[in-house]
Amino acid sequence: MNNIFADLGISDKVMNFGEEVLLTLKERFEQIDKNAEYNQAKVISAMQKNRVSATCFAGSTGYGYDDVGRDTLERVYADIFHTEAALVRPQITCGTHALAVALSANLLPGDELLSPVGRPYDTLEEVIGIRESKCSLKEYGVSYREVELLDGGKFDFDGIRKAINDKTKVVTIQRSKGYKTRPTFSVKQIGELISFVKSIKPDVICMVDNCYGEFVELIEPSDVGADMTVGSLIKNPGGGLAISGGYIAGTKECVERCAYRLSAPGLGQEVGANFGIIASLYEGLFLAPTVVASALKGAIFAANIYEKLGFKVVPNSTESRHDIIQAVELGSPEKMIAFCCGIQAAAPVDSFAEPVPAPMPGYDNDVIMAAGTFVQGSSIELSADGPIREPYAVYFQGGLTWAHAKLGILMSLQKLIEADLVDID
């Protein structure tokens, strides 16, 4: 093993350091595998219940009328998430697009959107209108307010109670940390927040940004009261095989409105071709629990490696996991770049490329991104990124296999050592 890793550029010193850390992780990895087995059974059960067959894999074009595979896949998602309905479409380009569809479909002029978990992910700022943008919710007369989290990432229940008013129509809850170093919320915590909000205003719509969280736990936000659970197929639920797409699972009314927004009023879910990629959406979903387990092992390995070296990591090396993202506060742009160069060097695609910070659409800071992926932007594949701003944290996620995730983390450490930015002696 040392020889093949040496061929890839990893020294015996780094390899041995990693093996020492792995000796402490056996029990945690076993629990991850148990959760994956449960979620795998849940996916299979939904596929069997909805009689998935080879006919579901037929491609469709044009209007996509009577697309059996598309309609069956949406019933499968609804059963997995225990919701009344689901919208699962390759026409949804990314997680931000899925969230924008869900919000714009269920907010009307004069309504107000509330985020009780502080500022949402950077790319939603222009969707909402926090940063001025054409076609934002703000431009269409939707107001917005937010309640900052308390120290330690706790909910400010008093502040939330005061913020909810007659105009509050949708409450958006971001499960994952985004480009912040706050804790990711567990499904249980999300359920407690939803219950609190609905005790104040029962008819409010609670939407959860579930990106990076699917299949990490045994239940999903829709199991604890979320009216809409939203995510991207090129993250967890696509299992690395989906080449595009997003999903919205929730109440029939909310999902129907989303379908009208995505296509056109009166058309909704009746139209939308699958372009011949439908089989990959099924197979990716089937593989997703195992792929997520691999990514989780990589995240825990990264946390233990970098915490041992003295860096602040979120979550820390022993905390429970509620998404696949591992934040590492590196403290300088140089360390961020070296880390990302290591992730890129471990990739099967574009391993020769060198990541550099650059402007990105939807962000107001330069961002560095490392991702030698088969699907562009697929962050269930091994990847790392972060905005070039304090505390200079890099966000590591993905790994279709545990072996690849492990290689990526060791390579990131190798690059930091070679740049004289870290010492493991």
* Secondary structure string (H, E, C) spanning the chain: CHHHHHHCCCCHHHHHHHHHHHCCCHHHHHHHHHHHHHHHHHHHHHHHHCCCCHHHHCCCCCCCCCCHHHHHHHHHHHHHCCCCEEEEECCCCCHHHHHHHHHHHHCCCCCEEEECCCCCCCCHHHHHCCCCCCCCCHHHCCEEEECCCEHHHECCHHHHHHHCCCCEEEEEEECCCCCCCCCCCCHHHHHHHHHHHHHHCCCCEEEEECCCCCCCCCCCHHHHCCCEEEEECCCHHHCCCCCCCEEEEECHHHHHHHHHHHCCCCCHHHCCCCCCCHHHHHHHHHHHHHHHHHHHHHHHHHHHHHHHCCCEEECCCCCCCCCCCEEEECCCHHHHHHHHHHHHHCCCCCCCCCCCCECCCCCCCCEEEECCCCCCCCCCCCEEEEECCCCCEEEEECCCCHHHHHHHHHHHHHHHHHCCCCCCC
Residue 358 banded pLDDT, cuts 50, 70, 90: very high
Supply the pLDDT for residue 330: 97
For residue 183, give its domain range: 57-285
In a domain, 104, yes or no: yes
Q: Average pLDDT in the 287-295 region?
A: 98
In a domain, 46, yes or no: no
Residue 181 banded pLDDT, cuts 50, 70, 90: confident
Supply the pLDDT for residue 337: 97
Task: Specify whether 319 is located in the same domain as 245.
Answer: no
pLDDT tens-digit map of 165-178: 999 999 999 999 98
In a domain, 397, yes or no: yes
Task: Specify whether 391 is located in the same domain as 343.
Answer: yes
Task: Specify whether 280 is located in the same domain as 294.
Answer: no
Where does a domain end: 285, 303, 330? 285
Task: Specify whether 295 is located in the same domain as 280.
Answer: no
CATH code at position 261 = 3.40.640.10
Q: How far apart are CA 382 and CA 339, in angstroms?
A: 13
Where does a domain end: 245, 270, 285? 285
Name the domain count of the chain. 2
In a domain, 165, yes or no: yes
Cα 126 to Cα 57, 141, 385: the distances in Å are: 37, 14, 20
Q: Average pLDDT in the 377-384 region?
A: 95
State yes or no: pLDDT of 376 exceeds 90.
yes
Task: Specify whether 106 is located in the same domain as 165.
Answer: yes
Task: Specify whether 132 is located in the same domain as 216.
Answer: yes
Q: How far apart are CA 144 and CA 327, in angstroms?
A: 28
Q: Average pLDDT in the 149-174 region?
A: 97
Supply the pLDDT for residue 360: 85
Q: Average pLDDT in the 396-404 region?
A: 97
Mean model confidence pLDDT for the chain: 96
Task: Specify whether 25 is located in the same domain as 112.
Answer: no
Supply the pLDDT for residue 94: 96
Task: Specify whether 97 is located in the same domain as 175.
Answer: yes
pLDDT tens-digit map of 229-260: 999 999 999 999 999 999 999 999 999 999 99
| Percentage of the residues of the chain whose pLDDT score is greater than 70 | 100
In a domain, 197, yes or no: yes
Task: Specify whether 118 is located in the same domain as 211.
Answer: yes
Task: Specify whether 125 is located in the same domain as 263.
Answer: yes
State yes or no: pLDDT of 180 exceeds 90.
no
Supply the pLDDT for residue 279: 98
CATH code at position 397 = 3.90.1150.60
pLDDT tens-digit map of 317-344: 999 999 999 999 999 999 999 999 999 9
pLDDT tens-digit map of 56-66: 999 999 999 99
Where does a domain end: 265, 285, 305? 285
Supply the pLDDT for residue 356: 95
Supply the pLDDT for residue 317: 95
pTM of the model: 0.96
Supply the pLDDT for residue 131: 93
In a domain, 50, yes or no: no
Residue 196 banded pLDDT, cuts 50, 70, 90: very high
pLDDT tens-digit map of 94-151: 999 999 999 999 999 999 999 999 999 989 999 999 999 999 999 999 999 999 999 9
Supply the pLDDT for residue 1: 83
In a domain, 424, yes or no: no
State yes or no: pLDDT of 218 exceeds 90.
yes
Task: Specify whether 115 is located in the same domain as 263.
Answer: yes
Task: Specify whether 28 is located in the same domain as 142.
Answer: no
In a domain, 47, yes or no: no
